[in-house]
Amino acid sequence: MVPPRTPDRLPKAIALDQVEALLAAASVADTPVSLRDRALLEVLYGTGARISEAVGLDVDDLDTEERVVRLRGKGGKERIVPLGSYAADALTAWTVRGRPVLAAHGRGTPAVFLGARGARLSRQSAWAVLRGVAERAQLGGHLSPHTLRHSFATHLLEGGADVRVVQELLGHASVTTTQIYTRVTVQQLREVYAQSHPRAR
């Protein structure tokens, strides 16, 4: 006998104003570390990158002129994802003004995101960055890099993006993985419908 399938947990996304509060809290100073933190969080939310994809970025993976980034996903699969103006500007500020300062402490790594000693930022350090900024933004400790990925997908779908486009952007092999997000927005559709349609009540 096959056990009943456990329902997919709905991804937790945060509201746009919370994302904006988080990103604002990342730019408290014009220091190299602050520039890096802002760029990292802008990339996580602006591209839907997994934390491993973000810290795995090399300088050659960025094209801030064309506003695209090359992400390496699961199984070494590559995808090109557009960069919004905020993420592109934050990356430019970091790579021009902040990164050279931290790179001077290291041995010439091609990594985009660097730690204090000039080496590639680790996943654990990137998590710590997010936790620290989330505390400053008073968003509590429930925020994870995956929350920003979920928020990216949910906000795109709420804005009318096609689920297959979101699938491509997230690097999901199957659209069924992406469809978990549509359930979140279906609930919002129901609420809008209930409030707006004359025959809904």
Helices (H), 56-174: 85-93, 99-103, 123-136, 145-158, 163-170
- Polymer length of the chain: 201
Closest CA to 50 of 128, 143, 116, 145: 145
Cα 8 to Cα 5, 163, 176, 198, distances in angstroms? 9, 17, 11, 33
The residues annotated with a catalytic role in the active site are: 50, 74, 146, 149, 172, 181
DSSP 2: P
